Amino acid sequence: MDSANPNPILSLGPFQGITDAPFRNVFRQHFKGVDKYYTPFFTGIQKDHAKNLQTEEIDPAYNDICTLTPQILSTDAAEILRFAHQCKARGYKAINLNMGCPFPRVANKKRGSGLLPYPEKVAVLFEKVFESIDVDFSVKCRLGYFNADEIYPILDIFNRYPLSELIIHPRIGKQLYKGEADVEAFKRLMPLVKTHLVYNGDIVSKGSFATISQAVQPVDEFMLGRGLLANPLLAEDIKGIVNERNRTERLHEYVVALYEDRLHHAGGSPKVLGRMKELWSYLMNSFEEPQTVWRRIKKLNALKEYEDAVEDIFKEIPVML
Ligand SMILES: Cc1cc2nc3c(=O)[nH]c(=O)nc-3n(C[C@H](O)[C@H](O)[C@H](O)COP(=O)(O)O)c2cc1C
């Protein structure tokens, strides 16, 4: 089936522990097709000079501020406004609020998707934020936390304010990442959303993009997640961007470049292996024998062992891209 939209806007969803600034920069150098990026969520912005704001994560010297939106996980209007102010001072035009994180340690505190069952709290929060926010404000959310009807009163609140975009991942928080994204539920929401709507969930191939984009017409913007981590060529494939170079070689070069960049930033510390393993837990799906790939990678704790394993994997196990 042909995709409904030959020229969609594509973004890379944020992944805590994977899609940090080094990842985004190396990814952009190696692959085309991704128009927008989001930082993994920030928390704990208790002061203007909070430590995590001083890192390269939103430093304009190290990021493309035109294509990057910083994300915050918070239910505190003062904190959100402080974050917005700090982002604006660095040149960013927008921030994104995370109302989708499903992890119990977050959701149990009524944060992330855990805020969705509490429209009265959301109403108070949005009233305070929109009193003085002076950058674009977008939201990423799920259908609910306990059930998929929770979104309806929340949409009523969103519709009172000039949100710059709304990204909906049609699962509920309790599901975590299990089951399937509910495209039908997303479709039911489409006529109710007043701002620019973005679809996110389960786009893993050109085929699944074609099916989903057809179903949610005329939505023109899609956030890619695990599908793009597994296959970094996915955005190029969806957009029909032709590159004559060998796909396995491109994948290999990217994995090595990301590792070297991380290693450089970490001053040679084996800590980088944690983040590389996180990526491999998705990337393995692009190889013919994912479990063999994962078994070789997951236990490694020494840099040299990791480097040798990566070379062996690319020599011995065919890539299926
Ligand atoms: C380990 C992990 C970390 C994530 N971190 C974030 C995050 O910081 N902010 C966010 O909005 N979404 C986060 N997500 C959600 C993804 O951005 C995306 O919405 C989700 O994977 C659904 O899209 P997909 O089905 O295309 O993968 C995370 C997901 C995973 C699995």
How far lies 180's CA from each of 4, 183, 281, in Å?
21, 9, 19
pLDDT digits (tens, 9 = 90+) for 82-124: 999 999 999 999 999 999 999 999 999 999 999 999 999 999 9
202 lines ligand 1 (CB under 6 A): yes
Determine the pLDDT at residue 86. 98
Enter the DSSP assignment of 195: S
How much of the chain is helix, strand and coil, in % rounded to 5? 45, 15, 40
Atom 4 of ligand 1: nearest residue by CA position: 15
19 lines ligand 1 (CB under 6 A): no
Residue with tokens 């495209």: 183
Determine the pLDDT at residue 6. 75
Determine the pLDDT at residue 1. 45
102 lines ligand 1 (CB under 6 A): no
15 lines ligand 1 (CB under 6 A): yes
Averaged pLDDT, 246-256: 98
Q: What does the mean pLDDT of the chain come to?
A: 97
Determine the pLDDT at residue 2. 53
Q: Other CB atoms closer than 10 Å to residue 207's CB: what's the count?
A: 12
Q: What's the 13 CA to ligand 1 centre distance in angstroms?
A: 6
100 lines ligand 1 (CB under 6 A): yes
Q: Which CATH topology does 9-239 take?
A: TIM Barrel (3.20.20)
Q: What's the 19 CA to ligand 1 centre distance in angstroms?
A: 10
pLDDT digits (tens, 9 = 90+) for 275-315: 999 999 999 999 999 999 999 999 999 999 999 999 999 99
Sign of the dihedral through C-alpha 272, 275, 277, 283: negative
> Residue 138: phi, psi to the nearest 5?
-120, 165
Q: How far is CA 302 from the centre of its chain?
A: 29
Q: Where are the domains of the chain?
A: 9-239, 247-316
Atom 21 of ligand 1: nearest residue by CA position: 225
Enter the DSSP assignment of 13: P
Task: Indicate if the pLDDT at residue 253 is higher than 80.
Answer: yes
CB-side neighbour CA atoms (13 Å) of 242: 1
203 lines ligand 1 (CB under 6 A): yes
Instruction: Please list, in sequence order, all residues whose beta carbon lies within 8 angstroms of the beta carbon of residue 177, skipping any fewer than 6 positions away.
Output: 102, 171, 226
Q: 224 pairs with which residues across the strands?
A: 12
